[in-house]
Amino acid sequence: MSGYAIVVASSELERIQAVSMIGSIAASSDTPVEVFVTMNGLTAFNRERVEGGDFDVGGPVGQAMLSSEGDEMPLFTEQLAQAKELGPLSVYACSLAMDVMGTELDDYVDVFDEELGVAGFLSRARDKQVLFV
């Protein structure tokens, strides 16, 4: 195996935050990471939701992240952007989910490299360990 391919289908802040942390650490260690955001996962990246702080929090860690207790942890959007500067990490938006929701890349925060279909993602994930969140 050569790296990780992470499928994000959940909009829960805790799950997406975990993906951004794992991806960041892997990328900073020169381990290739491909993140494919699909289904409800895309809603967490909606520009208006992120700017308004409207998150599907999840549990107590998600709650703490959004309170003053979580100030030291960068939000998943910032962490993914930083990780892309540190090492080989790419983030893709699922074109099928975007079509179903009637959205475009401009509707989301600027962390996506491109929109990609499932077949395209699977091609890029061929030699990687696949994780589903």
Domain count of the fold of the chain: 1
Residue percentage of the chain with pLDDT more than 70 = 96
72 pLDDT above the threshold of 60: yes
- Taking a C-beta distance cutoff of 8 angstroms, is the pair 60, 28 a contact? no
Give the pLDDT confidence score for residue 58 in this predicted structure: 79
**Cβ contacts of 88 within 8 Å, gap of 6 or more:** 3, 27, 30, 31, 32, 33
Instruction: Encode pLDDT of 93-128 as tens digits.
Output: 999 999 999 999 999 999 999 999 999 999 999 999
Domain with 84, as residue range(s), is 4-132
Cα–Cα dist 83/43, whole Å: 21
Domain with residue 101: its CATH number is 3.40.1260.10
Residues 4-59 pLDDT 10s: 999 999 999 999 999 999 999 999 999 999 999 999 999 999 999 999 989 888 78
Which pLDDT tens digit goes with each residue over 74-97?
899 999 999 999 999 999 999 999
Within its chain, how far is the Cα of 63 from the centroid? 19
Q: Identify the CA nearest to 42 among candidates 107, 118, 88, 86.
A: 107
